[in-house]
Structure formats: structure tokens, C-alpha cells
Structure 1
Amino acid sequence: MPKLARVLPFVQFAAGATRGLRTPPMLICFAAYASFWGAQSLAHSEPGSMVRYQPYFYEYAGQRVVGELGRFEVPERYDHPDGAKVTLAFLRLKSTSSTPGPPIVYLAGGPGGSAIHLAKGARGAVFLKMRAAGDVIALEQRGVGLSEPKLDCEEHLGFPLDQSASLATLRDAFEVKVRDCAALWRSRGRDLSAYTVVESAHDMESLRRALHVPKIRLWGSSYGTTLGLTVLRYHGEHVDRAIFAGVEGPDSTLKFPDTTKHQLETLATLIAADPRLEQEIPDFKALLQKVLQSAASQVYRVPLAANGDQAVVVTLGRFDLEQIVIGSLGDREGLASLPRLLLDFDHRNLSSSRVQEAAKEIAGQRSGPVDSMMSLATDCSSGASAERLAEIDRQTKIDLLTHIDFPIPDICPAVGVPTLPAKDRMPVHSAVPTLFMSGTLDGRTPRRNEEEVRRYFTHAQSILIEGAGHGDDLFVSSPAIGDAMVEYMLTGNVKAKVIQDPPLRFR
């Protein structure tokens, strides 16, 4: 998804005999659990430990999951160890094995994604399954989630709903709010140049030391693979093995417009293979061009369902439509909806559920808060090589859909962080055993990203997931994916080289 579109506890108590007890049985059970977890916290607090633990429970798929919430401090800047500190948080799910391997640390994407949120949500089944190989740790990266400070922006974009957006007008609106957000966090004593992939990689080494283990295992997705690769660059000797899905290399923060072009061609092929849809859309590229040209000449004014007594109308121009299309190309769900969404726009059927959903998404982006400052600072500091920037510029001049990472890099001057040195965008050479996973319908991190990275690994294996898009698709679109991941963490090998997802069904 483009950056513009990114956008508790319960305890399962054992039943027991309660007759004759004066103390309420729930309190007795709670006291027993508190005593148990208190003992666990003390056990983990031997001299040198930096972690503070507390019990953490949540419900997933009808079951109560027992975990620990850990917190520990790290320097905001590792080259100033006595300066400001940040507090990192993580959820630890204890292994179900009697002989667990090294802890498996999940690195969320984004940047700015919450690992704990993912563990409790769509990817929860995979997190629980991975416990067969070792403790599973959902780490909240610096500036994110339960870590402190959480560098959210309080400023709302406030772009008018009755105006269509252009690159220039939307960029200007973002620049004002992002500059205000950056100034706010600097006034609170935060050094935004410390929120980089390199500093976060050093956090992984701090986590390993805090856990008192000789090695950790990495599991990353999307930007989490960029972070994982950076961990291997600086601390690879302390990594046992890794799984990287939806690979984003060190110089892949900014995406090529050709990626969306290829995804459009793939979608056109899938439409041609669907007899009913192919009759409605004989030329998908022509339909897309027609809708975009129509939005440029006569904007779409989409009346949303009335909010109380006040009707809301969202005005969509060409740039808005481009961003909607780009956001739909990332995963299976978006691809399944996009053909008929474009038909609805072409027929100006603006009351359809698909158009309404797209307009609500745009309205939420225009009226909601701007992105996390952690996300903006991390992406802007990562930058891109001169060669990549030149190629992106060349493709931008000839491709139908461009600015696929908006508002990055356009608003990076407002963030005001320096770009990392060129060495941090160079390929990572590693002997750490690593499993790479890619999806054939991934419109954000295509398989060629993996191929570019994997060539520098001496112990690499690969799984191609036929029919998987970006994000959740890479983990939950088939139960065989989680099984293969556990197999790799347990044995260092996988039998499956290709996993077949169900065929894409157009809505």
C-alpha cells in the first residue's frame, strides 16, 4: 500500500471446588497467577538484566493466550549512550517445545507497524504456531506501539473534501503538518535523526543482551526485512537464522513505478482468464486510462451516506484515483475489487459500495492525522542511491501510475533528518541461514527484490507463494506457509519450494 494509505487482558482461570471458601474464588485464582508471574519476573531480573516483565493476556480465536509484556531501555543514540533514552516494549509468547531454540523476534513492516497488534490480529495463528520452535517475541520498534515515546503526530491533515487533490496541493498540505509535528517532537527533546533503520538494528542487539541469549532468530516482513538485513549487516554473528517475507532491500525504500506497471499487466492477464469479467473489460489498460482521463477533465463528486443531518461529498480528481489504484494493487483483496471499482467509476455509479469505500478511505486520509514521525523519519533517513533515484525519475516520466510512495520522498525536507551514508544501502553479504518468501501477486515487494538480495547469501532457501500478495497474504493465505516457517525454524530446511494459494476470485 502507498504510505498515504497506511496509514485487553483476560485470564483463563481453572475451575475448582469453591464450596466453603470465604474468599471469592476468582480472587484466589488471580492471586495464584500473580504469585506465579511475580516469581517469573524475579527469575528474569538477575544482575545485568534490563527487562521489566508483567503478565499479559489476550484472546485470539476463542482462546486465552498467556504471554509476558517486557520493557527495557536503550539509548536514543548509540553514539551517545549517556544521553536520552527510549523504552522498548515486546510481547513474549513462551515456546511450547521442551527443547526450544533461540528466541524468534518478529520485525514488523511499515515502518511504523505494531508487532503486538499483528500478533493479536490477522497473523495471530502464525505467531502461536511458531512457538513450536522457540519463544516468539513481538517487538515494538522505537517510536512505535507500546514503546515510549510513541512518535505519533497529533496534527490532522485537514485537506478540504470538496476539492480534488493534486501532487502539489497535497504535498503542500502535508509539508505544513509534518513540519509542525517534527518541531513538536524536537521541542520535547527528541532527536529525530535517531529514528533510523541502523539505530533500530542496534536495538536488536540490545534485546539479545537483555534476554541473556547467545543468539536470536529473525522473522521480518516488508520493511521488517530491511531492518532484519541491517541487523545481519551489523550484528550477524548473533543471529542463528532468519525468515524474510516480502523482501525490501537496503536500497528499496523508494519503489519503482515499473512495479505497478507489471502488476497492472498481471491483473489484465487474470481478467482475460475470467470469461464473465473479460466480456465486461476487454481492455483493462484502456479502461484505467479512460477513468483517469475522466477524473482529470471532470472530477468525481462522491456523496457519502449522510452523517446525521449533514451530507458529505468527497471530490476525487486524477491524483486521487491514481492513489486509490496504487493502494489496490498490493494484495489479493485490492486486486479482486479493482476491476469492478473502475467499472463503477467509468459508469459514474458513485453510490456503489466499492466507490463509497474508496471515497471514505480518501476522506479519512484528508481529515485524519498525518503519518507517524517514526515512520517518516525512518523512511526519509533511508533515502535512495543516486542510481535508483535516476531510474525512478526515468520511469516516472513514462509510466501511467507514479508517486507510489507518496508522501515519501516529497515531504522529507519537512521532516529534516539527514540521509544515512551510502554504505547502509549497499548489499548485505551474509552466511546466516535465511529463508526468503515472495508472492507472485505482491504489488509492493516483488520477487525481483528477493532475487537481488538473495544472491549475496551463502546459505539461502526460497519459497514462492503462487497467488499471494503483500502483507497478510504472505503468511495466512495458505496454512502451508506457517507450516513451512515452523519447519525451517526447527530444522533449517524446507521441503516446499512453491506454495499454491487458492485462485484469485474477482468480486
Structure 2
Amino acid sequence: MPKHSMRAVTAVAALACLTAVGAAPAGPAATTTAATATGPAPRATAPPSSPAVRFVPGACPQPPEPIEALGDARCGVLQVPENRSRPGGRTIELAVAVIPALAPAKPAKEPVVFMAGGPGADTFDDIPFLVDSGLNKDRELIVMAQRGNLYDRPNLACPEVDRFNAEAVGLGYDAKQAEDLLLKAVEECRGRLTSQGVDLSAYNTTENAADFADLRKALDIPRWNVYGYSYGSDLALTYLRRHPEGVRAVAVDSVAPPQYATLPWTWSSVAEGIDNIFEACAAQPACKDRYPDLRRTLTEQVRRLEAQPLTLDVAPPGGGKPVKVVLDGGALLNLIVAYTPRPKDVPAALTELAAGNPERFAQARAAGSVQNVGAFAHGLTNSVACAEWAPAYAEADVLAAGRKAFPGWPDTVLAQAPQLPFQYPVCRLWNVPDRAAVQRVATAGAIPVLLVSGTFDVKTGASWAEEAARTLPRSTTVQIPGIGHWVVPQSPCAQRVLASFLDRPTAPPDTGCVDGLEPQPFTIIPE
């Protein structure tokens, strides 16, 4: 993934980035204060019965690390109602960038609009990955921060949760102290946002989808293509179901089907991805010989660390002052889910851990102490997770799903949905209406859809794309071996498949490069 190496989405990115509370992607220490990180309160307007939707040109956002593609972009904000079910309510502003094609086609090709993962991740931070993947090679690329994201008004950042995440590396992953501190941070964030007048119930996938429908009309685009990954795939399929007009084609990557996106579902994705990593190791003779029984090794280490956690002083990657790190069973599992270490290093890291060397995992845990405070919209995450993923299930259902996925593991580990620890207590505090019946609906229709998955995806298991395709008669599913979450930026083959699909969505995409693909060799450590 471009410009920087593929960023590690750490303990928050559950249903893909499907992200919630936990450590946000590591980044430079923030200099922004809590007040500026949350952004100014949305402009309270007093429009007629239905606020007008309009695009207002303006300056592009200026991220701390400059994004070259924004230099030639047309930017501005989309003004939309905060809550479309409440006529006369206030208007919010969503940051938009239209990035020109590198080699404009004549006549111009239909643009592609991007729907980011999360929910809550900084959409503009993804632009270098999209450009390096060729999304704007011969067509415009349109990027809009989903409501509540960084550069929006309001921004539903929770610096309180970011600071908790930095402290949490020194606590047991599922410890009572961690739960208490997290709930305190969530309560403080909710209180601050609601005191600013934010309607937390309006930050959901239905409203997100309507925002993109309004964006197409506001930009006067007759037809466009849609590309979304992780939570963005949930959003893209919801958008296709609710607003099919003007959609030429839809590509989804690391698929989270709306009808299946629940907290218990995370366990089956984790089990599928880990099994695929271990099976790929067994298929490589050098890996199989060096690491003969990885499933047993993982189970043993989870049990051992949960019974007797390790407490270490470790410097974060890249250097810096050592921090206290607690490595228990829950932390071990969630580091694997977060791809720290990378999938190809997991067999080596587990074997080193079993031999008494926890360095790879401990340093990865220490990385969570470095937080980009205010960059992640935890408020959007919680509003989506608590309205759409949590309802109709309970803590007991998460535990049952965990026991099914990993029989014999400690219940203290299995009781927490991967990368979404303590989500049910969080949701009781967040207190938004149940939207499960509205959101958990399969998308159907005749518009062409491409579904791309990586076999090493531990967040959104590859098989879920096939489930989503069942109600999409003009769909194609493609699995890329040896790739984890967010496939296209990591795989030149997936980039070619996507480009082929966008060029001629009504024809079968060119998937020839997938034939014969195999995972890269795993890291082999000397005995």
C-alpha cells in the first residue's frame, strides 16, 4: 500500500477495519489538543423544513503528512442534514476531494467513488494507497469522509478513548481495570459530543449511504463506480440496495455483508483466517518442517499467557522510551488479528514465544502506546456497532461463537469479540436505537458486482464474499492467496482484476493472474 508501507490496523479494526474501541492505527504522537481534535461543533442552521443538500467548493484538508494527490484535487464540503428523519434539523459538513485521472480518457470515463473501512478511520489517509493501486489511472477518484470522520463538521473523534488505548498496553486485554477505564473514556466522549448537540443516532450506515447518493447528485455525475473495503463494503452494498440509481458497477474488498455483520460473526472470520495461514504454512515444506503443529502451539500460548501474563518494559517500534506492556492470551490473539506481526511472520513469532522469546509480540503490543490522538472517529464506530452489529445478540452469543471457533480456549479470551473488547457494556453507555432490522438485509439486483477477498484475512473471512454473492446474480468472487485485509493495495494481481472489471463490468473480469498464485514463503528462524 503506497507511500507508506501498509499501515497496521491495530486493536480497533474488527469487522475489517470494521473498527471500534481498541488501539487505533499507530502514528506520530499528536500535537492536537482534545478540543481541536474533535473539531468545532457543527454549524447550527435554521433552514426550512428540509435542509438543502449542496456541494460547497473549498480548500483541501491538510494532513500532518502531506498527500501529493491532493495538490491537483478539487475539494470542498457536502452539506447534508444530520438526521434526514427530522425535517428542520441542522446541517453537517462532509469533506470531499475529487482527484483527477492521471491519464484522462476521451471521452471521460465514469469516476470511481471510494468508501473507506472502519467505520471511523481517516478516509483521506487512504488516498496514497488508492492512487498507488491505480484507482485514478484513467478516471477521476472521488473521496468523501463518512459523517463524523476527521475533517468533517462535526468530527466524532474520542481523544479520551485514544488516551485509554495508549494506557491499555500496560493492562490485561480483558482485565476488569481495562474495562472500567474504557467505559469511563467512552462515557466522557459521549457526554462531550452530546453536549455539543451531536445526534449520535444519526451516525449510521443508512445515513452514510444517503450521503453518497446526495454527493453524486450534488456533483452532477450521471453514473459512477463504487469501490469499498471492509466496513466500506458493508456501506457499498447498503448503498447499492438503497440507492441503485446512477450506479454503473460496485467492487467490494474484504467483504462484510450487511446481513451477517454482527459481533459473534467476528469469531468465524478470525478462525478462518488463522486456519488459512496455518494451512499455507503446512503446504510449504520448509515451514511445515520448522513449525509442525501451529494450532497446538497457538492454543498452548493463549492458555499459558492467560493464566500467567507476561509484564515487560518494551520500546515501541522505531525507538522511544520503553513502556510497560502486558501480554496475555487476549492480547496475543488480537495482535494476530491486527497483523502485528505480519501473517508470514506469525509461525516464527509463535515458535519464538513458545521458546521464551516474546519480543515480536511484545513490541507489537508496545506500538499501541503511540496514538494519533483525535484522528479516529470512535463516535462513528460506536454508533454503527451499537445500532447495527450488537442488537439481537448478547455477551453469551459472542462466547458461544468463540467456543465454537476455538474449543478449549479460556472463556476470558473468548468472551470478547475480537478487536471489540467490552462492546456490550460500551453499547449500554452509548445508548443509540436498534437499527438491526433496517440494516441486516441482503443486497440483491442486476448491477455488476466484484467481490475480492484475501485468504489470510483474519478480520473479514474470505468465504463471506461467497455468501454475499448468493443474492447478486451478476457478481464475480475472487480470492487472492496469501493476502490479508484490504486486498487491492497489497496485490498487483487484484489491481489488474479490479481495473479489468471497471473497464467492462458487464463482461467477466480478467482473473488470469490469480491462477498459480501462492502465498509468499513464511519466515523461517534457525533451530
After TM superposition, the score normalised by the length of structure 1 is 0.81
8 Å Cα contact 1:466/1:498 also seen in 2: no
Per the alignment, residue 139 of structure 1 pairs with 144
AA aligned to 1:249 is P
Change beyond 3 A, Cα 1:167–1:102: farther
Per the alignment, residue 522 of structure 2 pairs with 506
| 1:308 Cα deviation after fit | 11
Per the alignment, residue 313 of structure 2 pairs with 303
**Residue of structure 1 aligned with 2:493, choices 480, 485, 488:** 480
| 1:108 Cα deviation after fit | 0.3
**Residue of structure 2 aligned with 1:252, choices 241, 258, 261:** 261
| CA RMSD after TM alignment | 3.3
Work out the CA distance in 1 between the residues paired with 2:267 and 2:68.
42
Per the alignment, residue 36 of structure 1 pairs with none
**Residue of structure 1 aligned with 2:154, choices 143, 149, 155:** 149
Structure with bigger gyration radius: 1
Is 1:51 aligned to 2:56, yes or no? yes
| 1:367 Cα deviation after fit | 10
Per the alignment, residue 431 of structure 2 pairs with 416
AA aligned to 1:466 is P
Work out the CA distance in 1 between the residues paired with 2:249 and 2:337.
34
Per the alignment, residue 79 of structure 2 pairs with 73
Work out the CA distance in 1 between the residues paired with 2:179 and 2:62.
42
Q: Partner of 1:484: helix, strand, or coil?
A: helix
8 Å Cα contact 1:232/1:239 also seen in 2: yes
Is 1:123 aligned to 2:138, yes or no? no
Per the alignment, residue 192 of structure 2 pairs with 184
Change beyond 3 A, Cα 1:162–1:230: closer
Per the alignment, residue 466 of structure 1 pairs with 481
Work out the CA distance in 1 between the residues paired with 2:281 and 2:442.
37
Per the alignment, residue 427 of structure 1 pairs with 442
Q: Partner of 2:338: helix, strand, or coil?
A: helix
| 1:72 Cα deviation after fit | 2.1
Is 1:455 aligned to 2:470, yes or no? yes
Superposed CA offset, 1:197-229 (max 9, x none): 001011011101111123332111111011111
Q: Partner of 2:452: helix, strand, or coil?
A: strand
Structure 1 residues 213-252: aligned runs within 5 Å:
213-250=221-258, 251-252=260-261
Change beyond 3 A, Cα 1:410–1:430: farther
8 Å Cα contact 1:385/1:422 also seen in 2: no
Per the alignment, residue 272 of structure 1 pairs with 282
8 Å Cα contact 2:449/2:474 also seen in 1: yes
Work out the CA distance in 1 between the residues paired with 2:246 and 2:135.
24
| 1:380 Cα deviation after fit | 1.6
**Residue of structure 2 aligned with 1:347, choices 335, 338, 355:** 355
| 1:320 Cα deviation after fit | 2.1
Work out the CA distance in 2 between the residues paired with 1:309 and 1:252.
38
Change beyond 3 A, Cα 1:57–1:308: closer
Per the alignment, residue 400 of structure 2 pairs with 394
Superposed CA offset, 1:280-320 (max 9, x none): 42211221122122213322122224999975332222222
Change beyond 3 A, Cα 1:6–1:497: farther
> Structure 2: which 5+ runs fail to align?
1-12, 26-51
8 Å Cα contact 1:52/1:70 also seen in 2: yes
Work out the CA distance in 1 between the residues paired with 2:330 and 2:253.
30
8 Å Cα contact 2:121/2:377 also seen in 1: no
Change beyond 3 A, Cα 1:413–1:370: farther
Change beyond 3 A, Cα 1:385–1:299: closer
AA aligned to 2:291 is I
**Residue of structure 2 aligned with 1:321, choices 307, 316, 332:** 332
Work out the CA distance in 1 between the residues paired with 2:319 and 2:503.
56
Change beyond 3 A, Cα 1:389–1:460: farther
8 Å Cα contact 1:77/1:199 also seen in 2: yes
Work out the CA distance in 2 between the residues paired with 1:169 and 1:457.
46
Q: Does 134-143 or 338-347 show the bigger shift?
A: 338-347
Q: Does 194-203 or 403-412 show the bigger shift?
A: 403-412
| 1:342 Cα deviation after fit | 1.8
Work out the CA distance in 2 between the residues paired with 1:195 and 1:410.
19
> Structure 1: which 5+ runs fail to align?
8-46
Q: Partner of 2:313: helix, strand, or coil?
A: strand
Per the alignment, residue 45 of structure 2 pairs with none
| 1:396 Cα deviation after fit | 2.2
Per the alignment, residue 451 of structure 2 pairs with 436
AA aligned to 2:261 is S
Superposed CA offset, 1:394-418 (max 9, x none): 3223424632142334421122211
After TM superposition, the score normalised by the length of structure 2 is 0.78
8 Å Cα contact 2:171/2:178 also seen in 1: no
Q: Does 309-318 or 366-375 show the bigger shift?
A: 366-375
AA aligned to 2:275 is E
| 1:146 Cα deviation after fit | 1.8
8 Å Cα contact 1:161/1:366 also seen in 2: no
8 Å Cα contact 2:148/2:203 also seen in 1: yes
Superposed CA offset, 1:432-487 (max 9, x none): 2211212222222223211111111232223222222112xx11333232232222
Change beyond 3 A, Cα 1:195–1:170: same
- Report sequence identity in percent: 24
AA aligned to 2:459 is R
Change beyond 3 A, Cα 1:231–1:356: same
AA aligned to 2:231 is Y
| 1:245 Cα deviation after fit | 1.2
Q: Partner of 2:250: helix, strand, or coil?
A: strand
Work out the CA distance in 1 between the residues paired with 2:170 and 2:119.
31
Per the alignment, residue 25 of structure 1 pairs with none
8 Å Cα contact 2:159/2:374 also seen in 1: no
Larger RCO, structure (CA 8 Å, separation 6 or more): 2
